[in-house]
Amino acid sequence: MNRARQIQNLALIGFMGTGKSSVGQMVAASLHFTFLDTDHDIEVRAKKSIPDIFAQDGELAFREWERRIVQELTQRKKTVISTGGGLPADETNLASLKAHAFVVCLWASPEKILERVRYQTHRPLLYDPNPLAKIRRLLAAREPFYRQADVLLNTEMRSVREVAQQVIHQFKLAQGGG
């Protein structure tokens, strides 16, 4: 399977607040891979923050940035890619990631996600009078995509370090190592 897919990279997908960036940085350091965060990449290229992109250009413009970045990722090697929560909720983006990366989905319940993102202000999709309902709705819509990951990891009872260790373990297993 891996040979057909040409696994060169490791991609972390999953909802906002599941720890993709923190886990990804730790995994990259441990594997001596480059770390790339799609949200950060978009902010650098667009020269504005994600809330500003959503407010000034709209969500569709943001999704267009994501599609562009995903296409460029096919050239990467030895990179841990942390993706925005909505990026894999698009068949083309997901298929593209899976062609070159081992894909791990970090999971948490809506309640846990709310607990983690509650006091953060950089996620425009959660500027909502009822953020828990919004999280539930988005998570339900995205679940079929998240479930297509090679591995689904529950992050709820685990520290960032423990999740990172699990990700590395699964990645090595998939490559035929131990």
Q: Which is nearer to ligand S3P, 84 or 110 (CB)?
A: 84
Per rule CB under 6 A, is residue 116 in the interface with ligand S3P?
no
88 in contact with ligand S3P (CB under 6 A): no
Strands (E), the chain: 9-14, 34-37, 79-82, 101-107, 151-154
Angstrom CA distances, 7 to 10, 71, 127, 128, stand at 8, 16, 37, 38
Does 123 interact with ligand S3P (rule: CB under 6 A)?
A: yes
Helix axes 20-31, 160-174, angle to 10 degrees: 60
Residue 84 in contact with ligand S3P, rule: CB under 6 A: yes
Q: Report which residue type is found at 161.
A: R
Question: Least distance in Å: CB of 161 to ligand S3P?
Answer: 19
Asked whether position 131 contacts ligand S3P by CB under 6 A, the answer is no
Residue 107's DSSP bridge partners are 154
What would the x/- binding string for ligand S3P be over residues 20 to 39, using CB under 6 A?
A: x------------------x
